[in-house]
Chain A
Amino acid sequence: MNSLIDESVIQNMKDDLGKDTCHKLIGLFIEETRLLLVDLEHAFEVMDLAVIENATHILKNSAMLYGATSVAINAKEINDRLCSPRKIINNTDKQLLALIRTTLKAYNSKYNNAV
C-alpha cells in the first residue's frame, strides 16, 4: 500500500512547511481527490469525456505534488489522449477509479489524523 505514496514528497513537504500545515494540505488533497473520484465514476458510466478530461487534468498535477505518483501517471496518460484531436478513451482507463480508491485508502490510513 505504501508504494502508492511517495514518502519523500511528503517528507519534503513536512520539512518545508511543518507537520501541521502538511497534514492540513493532505486533508485538502484527500477531499479534492474524493470529489474528483465521484465525478469520474459518473463520467465513466455515461462516457462524459469532457468531465474525464477536466478531472484527469487536475489530478495529473495535484497527485504528483502530493506524492500519489501512480495516480498522477495514470491520469496524465488518459488526459494526454483526451487532449489529442482524436480523444481516445480505452476500456482499461476505468482502472484509474480503482487506483484512486486504493490510493485514498492508503492516504486515509496513513494520515487519518489529517481528515
Chain B
Amino acid sequence: MDILVCVKRVPDSAENEISVGPGGADIRREDLVYSVNEWDNYAVEEAIQIVERVGGNVTVVSVGDTEAEEIVRREMAMGANQGLLATDAAFTGSDGLGIATILEAVAQKAKYDLILTGAQADDGAAQVGGMLGALLDWPYASLVNLIKVQGDKSLRIGREIEGGSQEISDIELPCVLSIQTGINEPRYVGIRGIRKVASVEIPVLDGGALGLPPGTVGAAGARVRRVDYFVPQTGAGAEMLTGSTEEVAGKLVDLLKAKGGIK
C-alpha cells in the first residue's frame, strides 16, 4: 500500500504559552517550541504500521516554509520512506482550501492508495482532510481511530464519535482518512534516528512544479482570512490564588472544605 501522510509544523500548544503579538497581527513567536502537529504524528505511525503489516511505502509531505523540513525529517526518522516539502512564497496565507489544493496537486504527482492527515491542528479547523477527499473525489472519513486492511480494495475503519463510542464502516480505496489521537502509540525518535536521515534529500515542490499558478492558492486565493488574534474575554474568568505553595495549598483546602470537596 502506498500511503501519503500530510504533516504540519506547529507551535506545540501543550508546551507553549500562546499570547497575542503587537496589534494582534500574529501570535508571539519568539520563544515558541515547534514540533510536528500531534495528530499528524499518530497518522505517520499508523501509516508505518500498515506498511509493516502489508508492505508498501510511506511518503510524508508538509506544506510550509523551509523550516518545515525538520519535521519531515523527524517523521522519516520514525520510518517513513520518503519526504516531500511543498514550499513557495505564493503559498503563504493559504486558507484551508488552499492547503487542500496544494496537497491535491502533490497527491496527483504519484499514485497513492491511501492519504492520511491528522484530524486537526493548531487552528482547530479539522478541514483539510475532508476538502482533499472532495477535491480528489475519493471517499473520506474523519476522526479515525481504527484501520484494518481488507485486501487491496477496502479498509475497515472506526471513527471516534460522541461519548467515546466507535462507528465502524467499510471504505473503498483509494480514500482519505483523518486520524484521531490514541489510535496507536507513536514510536520514540531518538537523536540516532534523526542522524540516520540527516543527509537524505527531501525534494522541494513549488507552485511551478505542482502546476499551481499564482493566485490560485496563498493569500490571493483565500476566501477565509484571519484578520487578527485577540485574547478572549469570557465571563469573569477565574479568581486566581497567589502566594507561597503553603499559602496556596491552605487556601485550596479551605475552599474545598467550604464547597464539600473533602469528604
A and B: bona fide binding partners: no
